[in-house]
Amino acid sequence: MRETFVATTTALLEEDPRTAVVLADISGDAFAPAQRRHPDRVINVGIREQLMAGVAGGLALTGLRPYVHSYAPFVIDRAYEQIKLDLGHQDVGAVLVSIGASYDASSEGYTHQSPGDVALLDTLEGWTVHVPGHPNEVPALLRAAARNDDRIYVRLSSQQNSRAYAATDKLQVVRQGWAGAPVVLAVGPMLDPVLAATADLDVTVAYTLTPRPLDTRGLRELVSREVVVVEPYLAGTSSRLVAAALSDVPHRGLHLGVGRAEQRRYGTPADHARWHGLDATGLRASISAFLRAGS
């Protein structure tokens, strides 16, 4: 997905004079050709993430459209107050594009992991969050973001599904269960593990790559009683929105995602998925237990 991001943003720099890219060394080499062509609009501030966000706010105040990029823990966690004040409080927008997600950098350790990024943005007003599940979903998201001044977060990951879906902000039903079947909503790269985990379960599987704003109307239409949400970041991040969407119907909910406990282990992303119960086996166990408990 990172390569797709670099290619699409490089093309946008060429096509749209409003486009600017702000880096803090991460992916600097990948953007070097674009920087040579557009030295005033490809800005590498060095290892200075607070400044990266401040510069984005300043660029936006002059009418440019900044794409801001680093590892998720550096662009979101570290620069949280700059995101809150230099963008939100100034009433300007930017497109923050992260890599690393919750545990792509599994062997780098917790310093390079951000399971809490979406929860942090949930404390702020007006953020759209895209969590693509496939590289081919990325260009349309980035191109759409060039046409407005919204505050947009694109959470790229090396974890991906086997196929791409439409880059829409609506829920997409991937597998239809019987009428009234429990609904399992998979966010971004959680879809393939969810499909594998529920292959022989009578459930409806829905997919979204835009969890913010969550398509609450689509969810309300889909859910009869049971809903399971599987997110690739902190477990329960969307529970508040799901509860609000279903506030007028009796329902049961299960929220799966990355646990809060720091693993203090390295290994591969697949290892971390297993430890957090987000591989197909773990998901199947959690979802089956949840469904049994309600029957």
Partner 1 sequence: MTTTAVNPDLLGTLLTRLTGDEKHAPSAYSTLDVLWVLYDRVLRVSPDTVDDPDRDRFLLSKGHGPAGYYAVLAAKGFIPVDWLDDLGGPESPLGHHPDRVLIPGVEIGTGSLGHGLGLGVGTALGLRAQGLDARTFVLLGDAELDEGSNHEAIAYAAAARLDKLTAIVIDNQSSTHGWPGGIASRFPGWTASTVDGRDHEAIEIALRQRDRDRPHVVVAAVEKKG
- 84 versus 251: smaller Cβ distance to partner 1: 84
**Sheet bearing 226-234, strands edge to edge:** 172-175, 204-208, 183-187, 226-234, 252-258
Q: Is residue 146 involved in binding partner 1 (CB under 8 A)?
A: no
Q: Which of 1, 6, 64, 241 binds partner 1 (CB under 8 A)?
A: 64
Give the separation between CA 118 and CA 114, rounded to whole angstroms: 9
The tokens for 106 are: 């599994």
For residue 213, whether the previous peptide bond is cis, meaning omega lies within 30 degrees of 0, is yes
Q: Which of 1, 6, 12, 20 binds partner 1 (CB under 8 A)?
A: 20
Minimum distance from residue 2 beta carbon to partner 1 (Å): 24
Minimum distance from residue 30 beta carbon to partner 1 (Å): 20
Give the separation between CA 112 and CA 104, rounded to whole angstroms: 9
- 2 versus 78: smaller Cβ distance to partner 1: 78
What residue has token string 């823990």? 73
Give the separation between CA 92 and CA 85, rounded to whole angstroms: 10
How many secondary structure helices (H) and strands (E) does the chain include?
12, 11
Q: Is residue 77 involved in binding partner 1 (CB under 8 A)?
A: no
Contact stretch for partner 1 (CB under 8 A) within 55-63, 149-157, 190-198, 284-292? 55-63
What's the distance, CA 86 to chain centroid? 21
Q: Is residue 41 involved in binding partner 1 (CB under 8 A)?
A: yes
Minimum distance from residue 49 beta carbon to partner 1 (Å): 8
What residues line the site for partner 1 (CB under 8 A)? 17, 20, 40-41, 43, 45-46, 48, 50-51, 53-64, 66, 81-82, 85-86, 89-91
